[in-house]
Amino acid sequence: MPIQRIIIQGKVPVKIYTDDVDSPAVKQLVNIAQLPFIHSHVAAMPDVHVGIGATVGAVIPTKGAIIPAAVGVDIGCGMVATRLSLTASQLPDNLRPLRTAIEAAVPVGFAMHPNGPGVPASAVHALSGGLDRIVHKHPGILKMQKNSERTWAQQLGTLGGGNHFIELCLDENQDVWVMLHSGSRGIGNVIGRYFIELARKDMGQHLANLPDRDLAYLQEGAAHFDDYVTAVQWAQDYAMTNRREMMRLILDALMRQLPPFTLTREAINCHHNYVTVERHFGEDLFITRKGAIRAGVGDLGIIPGSMGAKSYIVRGKGEPESFCSCSHGAGRRMSRGQAKKKFDQQDLIDQTVGVECRKDSGVLDEIPGAYKPIDEVMANQSDLVEVVHTLKQVVCVKG
């Protein structure tokens, strides 16, 4: 569907691909649209919902400045998926051992690889030099995380918690897929928080002129702008590597549990919390996608539903008004606290029938009912992407 709503209260319009947007999210979008360096307009995807400072599901084009809080603290968070040469009939009747094997191979929640990095030394080495250069100029980053010098390496190839997950899925042809959602773990979090605070300090008294202090920005040419660009790119590379290494660990574990298989599709590995330079409307711009993926012509992407709903492999249509973007998932319809108040453990069991997953109160805030209906989200972005595959999970691992 085309743009559903246009808001014009800011200095530039906000173009929204859904009618399902609440007033706090609208307020955040208007706040962003008031900033002097926003180019053309702000685009809001069908999964749009309130975030910290900037709305989740927002695509923010800027000229000469970046808002660290809009990029967020899970820098480079995203998805990876690959298809196996197996079909549903080759999976065991009891899927619990598969979930157990994945959980044994990939630390989840706050856990990390206990005895040093759980990934090849080459993966750690490729990242270590860049981090050393960043923390040499900003040693305060390492002070924000316990044992940060070794923790970042031990967390490489780990899932994290919250809405991060690992799934085995079946597509419309009953082919088996592995899909996972994760980001830059603790090191990305401290880098994000460090530069958000640094942006506030650098703005000094001008911070009071912003509609929200979480929209503090770093201007191109200013003292810490290039340092942030370097740090955020490193964190995005870390997140990409983290997903790739987790996928390797998962496939190794599955090879010990399932009939012999190969990969029939190269892994799709895409960010949905990141900033990059792209050309739109005749200008080179910083494009911040906060809960959105790139959907240029032919780009393959992954749009997950909740832990009880369908997910999609999509191909971008390159819609200019969305800055060649689409949603990153279903999007929350209620906060984690609201979900815990509204639903109970039996609701979770009922809403995840047929899925081998945790069904305890510890993941109640991830219940499918806390999310927008994924079918509605997909219908609202038919102008942005076409569906290549429809997936339904049979195993879901949560942190």
Residue type, 51: G
Contact 142, 178 (CB under 8 A): no
Tell me whether residue 39 is annotated as binding.
no
Radius of gyration of the chain (CA): 20
Q: Is 328 a catalytic residue?
A: yes
Tell me whether residue 273 is annotated as binding.
yes
Tell me whether residue 242 is annotated as binding.
no
244 burial (CB, 10 Å; 0-12 / 13-18 / 19+) is middle
Tell me whether residue 148 is annotated as binding.
no
Tell me whether residue 272 is annotated as binding.
yes
Tell me whether residue 45 is annotated as binding.
no
Tell me whether residue 331 is annotated as binding.
yes
DSSP line for 232-267: HHHHHHHHHHHHHHHHHHHHHHHHTTSS---BSSPP
Tell me whether residue 167 is annotated as binding.
yes
Tell me whether residue 307 is annotated as binding.
yes
Tell me whether residue 398 is annotated as binding.
yes
Contact 78, 184 (CB under 8 A): no
Distance CA 184, CA 131 (A): 13
Q: Which residue has the tokens 């040469």?
A: 85
Out of 39, 224, 328, 389, the active site residue is 328
Tell me whether residue 365 is annotated as binding.
no
Distance CA 223, CA 203 (A): 11
Tell me whether residue 311 is annotated as binding.
yes
Tell me whether residue 306 is annotated as binding.
yes
Contact 318, 300 (CB under 8 A): no
DSSP line for 35-68: STTB-S-EEEEEEEE--SSS-EEEEEEESSEE-H
List residues bridging with 44 in a β-sheet: 16, 58
Kindly state the DSSP code that residue 164 receives in the 8-state scheme. Answer: -
User: What is the number of other CB atoms lying within 10 angstroms of the CB of residue 96?
Assistant: 10
As annotated, the binding site includes 74, 163-167, 181, 272-273, 304-307, 311, 328-331, 398
Question: Which residues are catalytically annotated?
Answer: 328
As annotated, the binding site for GMP includes 163-167, 272-273, 304-307, 311, 328-331, 398
As annotated, the binding site for Mn(2+) includes 74, 164, 181, 272
